[in-house]
Amino acid sequence: MSASPSTYDGVAAVLSLLVLLTEFAMLRAPLLRSQVRLYAFQSLVVTVLAVYVAYSKHIDELYVLAALSLVLKVALVPALILRLLRDANTDLAGSSVVGVASAILIALVVAAFGFFSVGSLQVSSSSLPTSSLAIACAIVLVAFVLIILRSDVVSQAIGFFSLENGVSVASLVVASGLPLIVDIAFLFDLLVAVVVFGVIMRVHHARNATLSTSDFDRLKG
């Protein structure tokens, strides 16, 4: 048998994998509402991962970060988007360019690229296993696939927000001892993005009565 990673590393890697799998589930989700719920769940897993690292490695600052992300990413942001959706009266996400099975296979290839490119960098960290960094890279790349393949504003916004979740996992790996202010700056970035995407959704829906981005190729509204 091959030597297994320690229990701590194993649990941490499984949690980061759960984040990646939620990202894949978003590729599959046909309803905008379920996509937002998946995002809330993904943020919850990232929060749990932060608490797990904080507890095991005794990094107290991470508790503050976890609390902040619980309030913002699990509760506030999804609630805001769901409210915007209620006003927009649209349920289905814009159809993806390719079928679901093909989308998953494409994302799988992209994720494999991320895995091996990061794996060959030989980055090691004291707080989380290297595989978590590779998984974080895969999360970011799959989020890009989601943004590229889906043709509606909400999916693209969710793709962008979940990309931030991937970055959070990466920052937990390489810099869990990072000063708190930097992490909060990340979260603030996210809030700005939420405001920007919210404005885009509102304006776009008010002008074109749709959330699809396929109307954006015309130069004048």
Partner 1 sequence: MDSLVVSPYGVQAIQVLTILLGAPLVSGVIANVEARFQGRRGPRILQPYYDIAKFFSKETLVTYESSWVFIAGPIVAFACYLTVPMLIPVLTTFPLPLGFTGDILGGGFILALAGFSVALSGAESGAPYAQLGASRAMTFGALIEPTILFVIFAVALITHTDLPYALSATIRSSTSQMVRPSHVLAAFAFFLVVLVDTGRIPVETHSGTLEFGMIDEARTLEHSGPTLALLKWGGAMKQLILYTILINVFIAPWGLASSGRLGSVGLAAIALLGKAIGLGVIFAVVDNSFSKLRLFKITEFIASAFLLAVLSVLVFYVGGG
Alpha-carbon gap, residue 166 to 75, rounded angstroms: 18
**Of the ranges 7-15, 57-65, 85-93, 162-170, which one interacts with partner 1 (CB under 8 A)?**
7-15
Measured from the CB atom, is 24 or 39 closer to partner 1? 24
Task: Tell me: does residue 104 bind partner 1 (CB under 8 A).
Answer: yes
Measured from the CB atom, is 4 or 89 closer to partner 1? 4
Task: Tell me: does residue 101 bind partner 1 (CB under 8 A).
Answer: yes
Task: Tell me: does residue 55 bind partner 1 (CB under 8 A).
Answer: no
Alpha-carbon gap, residue 35 to 23, rounded angstroms: 10
Q: Which two tokens stand for residue 95?
A: 């159809």
Task: Tell me: does residue 26 bind partner 1 (CB under 8 A).
Answer: no
Contact (CB, 8 A) for 141 and 100:
no
Measured from the CB atom, is 90 or 130 closer to partner 1? 130
**Which of 19, 39, 127, 129 touches partner 1 (CB under 8 A)?**
129
Nearest to 135 by CA among 16, 28, 51: 16
Contact (CB, 8 A) for 211 and 94:
yes
**Which of 71, 112, 182, 195 touches partner 1 (CB under 8 A)?**
112
Write the DSSP string, 131-177: HHHHHHHHHHHHHHHHHHH--BHHHHHHHHHHHHHHHHHHHHHH-TT
Residues contributing to the site for partner 1 (CB under 8 A): 1-7, 9-11, 13-14, 17, 20-21, 24, 28, 100-101, 104-105, 108, 111-112, 115-116, 118-119, 129-132, 134-135
